[in-house]
Structure formats: C-alpha cells, structure tokens
Amino acid sequence: MPVKRRASKRRTNAALLEAWSATFEFGHDYFGDLQRLLGIDEHGPLARSNEESAKARAAFIELAREAWEQLGAAYLAQPSGSVGQPWALEQFGEP
C-alpha cells in the first residue's frame, strides 16, 4: 500500500508568511494575496455601509493579530528592505 503524502508544514508556513507579508509591513493586503490564498477580504463586499466596513476591518485586524502571533518571528527573521518598523510590530508588539 502506498504511503500517504503529507503537506509540508514548512511550505505551508512559507506560503502563509508570503501572503501576510504586505499586511505585516503596511497594515493592508495591497496585492490581494490573502484573498487569493485564504479568501480573506479586509474590506468585505463593496456594497457595505460604513458600520459594516468598520466591522470587517476590525475582524481583519484580529486575523492579522493571530497571524502575527503565529508567523511574526519568522517574518522578523527575514531580511527586509523596510525603512521603518513593520505595521504589525507597532500594532501588536513582539510576536
């Protein structure tokens, strides 16, 4: 019987880290990586009221906090061309 292949945790974390990197750096998913990979849309559907948009943004920030706790140390260990501190480090502190 063939051995069942398992998904590599390293590869999965690298893909997640890449998807979250713009958000960690700037606070926004400018390139739509999170939406493509995970289906996360920081603004929600376009036809939202200001209140619904604010709730969607708050939910997105909470997801970013959880991702930062999981991936933040790996993100900070990468070489970065950034001039200042990453948004996530300012927003959430050390991972």
**pLDDT tier at 62 (50, 70, 90 boundaries)?**
very high
Q: What is the pLDDT of residue 12?
A: 54
- 43 neighbors 87 (Cβ within 8 angstroms): no
Q: In sequence order, what are the residues at sequence separation of 6 or more whose Cβ sits closer than 8 angstroms to the Cβ of residue 52?
A: 44
Task: Encode pLDDT of 21-59 as tens digits.
Answer: 999 999 999 888 998 888 887 776 665 678 888 888 889
Q: Is the dihedral of CA 10, 59, 42, 45 positive or negative?
A: positive
Task: Encode pLDDT of 63-87 as tens digits.
Answer: 999 999 999 999 999 887 777 899 9
Q: How far is CA 29 from the centre of its chain?
A: 8
- 60 neighbors 40 (Cβ within 8 angstroms): yes
Return the biggest CA–CA distance within the chain: 56
